[in-house]
Structure 1
Amino acid sequence: MSLHCYADDTQLYLPLKPNNRSNLLNLIHCLEDIKCWMAKNFLHLNESKSEVILLGPSDSIKNIAGSIGSVTPLLKPHVKNLGVIFDSALKFDKQVNAVVKASFFQLRKIAKIKQFLQFDALEKIIHTFISSRLDYCNSLYIGISQSSLSRLQLVQNAPARLLTGTRKRDHITPILASLHWLPVQFRINFKILLYVYKALNGLAPTYIKSLLTHHTTSRSLRSADLGLLNIPRSRHKLRGDRAFAVAAPRLWNSIPLPIRTAPSINSFKSRLKTHLYSQAFLDIL
């Protein structure tokens, strides 16, 4: 069984195939062993707080959902993992809805006290209550639908207009550029690239570093000294290309060499933001 342990939560995960129940039996036996161990130690497993979710194509999920035995009552279409709502198709529609709803709720409250705050204080409050929600676990949003991405961008645009007093009819791009706020898509890329830099420099967990491999060639080529990463092939374009092991190397190889070879994490952040800023606002620079 593969697992992740948190302060008060344990997650078990494993691959399943429609015609192979061996892994499922392992999961059921594992849960039974946990119940027995807890009973012997005067503890009780609260099954009402235990949840199961199947991730994969809808056809495969339908085939497997009817044959998971005693786990069926625990099956959920959505589960919350460290505050992020996961769905079976990993579209994150529910998560985006939650972020949008919570952000605009906070924005309405902030708007009521705007007149009492100076510009710098108002900007700090916006980052604390709204930008933090946009940035939380935003690396998971890589490859989500354009409609969901647009909704998240509206969340960023609204406080930018509030902060600067910009009308709804005015174009938002120059406003974001003047505030030095990277658009949502570039903030997502920034977070993923930061994880890559940390992993390659021993600042990230080993399970993240294990997903990255350096690009090697059989001959001595110039590319061998460019710090490039190998981009594995994915079987499923819609889901496979969104995996960290695929998306992260692709983004990493696309940034200039001086950024990849930054001597420190602060230098890397500075160079990367400058690069992404120039890409995001190329039309107005």
Structure 2
Amino acid sequence: MTENKLKLNSEKTEALLVGTRQKIASLTVTDLQLNDATVPFAPAVKSLGVFLDYTLSMQTRISFIIKTCFFHLRSIASIRRYLTHDACVKLVVSLIFSRLDYCNSLLAGLPASSIHGLQRVQNAAARLTLRKTKRDHITPLLRSLHWLPVNTRIFYKLSTLVYKRLNDSAPEYLQSSLDLYTQPSDRPLRSAADPLRLHIPRSKLASAG
């Protein structure tokens, strides 16, 4: 920061200590010392519009999205009778789906119980758009609107990023993050015949707790 002539504003800076609840509870450190500045640890921080909590469960982000989306849905519902179908779709896409889809690849791998709240938002948006009630089954409504369910939208986003990487059309930071599989010279494998196979890094989870 000194080389770039920048100074840390400790009043507007927070730090995030990541770990399990048990691990964090056992620690006594409460802040981070950076030269003359004291940066406190927070249970959740916001970076580029995304809330990250200390367990990386994404629950803080999901709760914020749900709260914000239902606020906008109530606003749209108050004027729904004055809107055409196309106008309502545009409002929902701009106010609701822009939040459901923003950085949604970070939600990949979360349990279904975590995604359920976001799916409730989409279901409410579909029923509002089509003027349906809770008694109407949601799957035909989503199909008629050509809306993918939330978990499928997440998978679609990841698939798009991988496709761009394999076709060299992704940004540089993605190109360098995903490596193609290299066959070991001493172990010829049948799977090596696939030129688009990605290298899967090893993960060590035994010491996570």
* Common fold by TM > 0.5: yes
- 1:235 is matched with which residue: 181, 204, 209? 204
Determine whether 1:83 maps to 2:49.
yes
Determine whether 1:164 maps to 2:127.
no
**Which residue in 1 is equivalent to 2:85?**
119
Alpha-carbon distance, 1:100 to partner = 0.5
Alpha-carbon distance, 1:135 to partner = 0.3
Q: 3-state SS of the aligned residue for 1:70?
A: strand
Determine whether 1:56 maps to 2:19.
yes
Structure-2 separation of matches of 1:128 and 1:56: 35
**Which residue in 2 is equivalent to 1:30?**
none
Alpha-carbon distance, 1:107 to partner = 0.5
Question: Which residues of 2 match residues 202-241 of structure 1 at below 5 A?
Answer: 202-217=168-183, 218-219=187-188, 221=190, 224-225=193-194, 227-236=196-205
Alpha-carbon distance, 1:102 to partner = 0.6
Structure-2 separation of matches of 1:148 and 1:120: 31
Tell me which stretches of 4 or more aligned residues in structure 1 moved more than 6 Å.
none
Structure-2 separation of matches of 1:69 and 1:127: 41
Q: 3-state SS of the aligned residue for 1:234?
A: coil
Paired amino acid for 2:203: S
Higher relative contact order (CA 8 A, sep 6+): 2
Paired amino acid for 2:10: E
Alpha-carbon distance, 1:150 to partner = 0.3
Could you tell me the TM-score, scaled by structure 2's length? 0.84
Alpha-carbon distance, 1:55 to partner = 1.6
Distance 1:227 1:45, change over 3 A: closer
Structure-1 separation of matches of 2:174 and 2:20: 25
Alpha-carbon distance, 1:51 to partner = 1.3
Alignment RMSD, CA only?
Answer: 2.6
Decide whether the 8 Å contact of 2:31 with 2:40 is kept in 1.
Answer: no
**Which residue in 1 is equivalent to 2:118?**
152
Paired amino acid for 2:160: L
Q: Which has the higher helix share?
A: 1
Which range moved further: 192-201 or 105-114?
192-201
Distance 1:109 1:232, change over 3 A: same
**Which residue in 2 is equivalent to 1:17?**
none
Paired amino acid for 1:115: R
Cα deviation digits, residues 88-118 of structure 1 (max 9, x gap): 1111111111101110110111112211221
Question: Which residues of 2 match residues 180-191 of structure 1 at below 5 A?
Answer: 180-191=146-157
Question: Which residues of 2 match residues 62-73 of structure 1 at below 5 A?
Answer: 62=25, 66=29, 70=33, 73=39
Decide whether the 8 Å contact of 1:216 with 1:224 is kept in 2.
Answer: no
Decide whether the 8 Å contact of 1:78 with 1:86 is kept in 2.
Answer: yes
Structure-2 separation of matches of 1:44 and 1:214: 40
Alpha-carbon distance, 1:191 to partner = 1.0
Distance 1:173 1:202, change over 3 A: same
For structure 2, the 5+ residue unaligned runs are none
Paired amino acid for 1:57: T
Paired amino acid for 1:233: R
Distance 1:67 1:48, change over 3 A: closer
Determine whether 1:142 maps to 2:111.
no
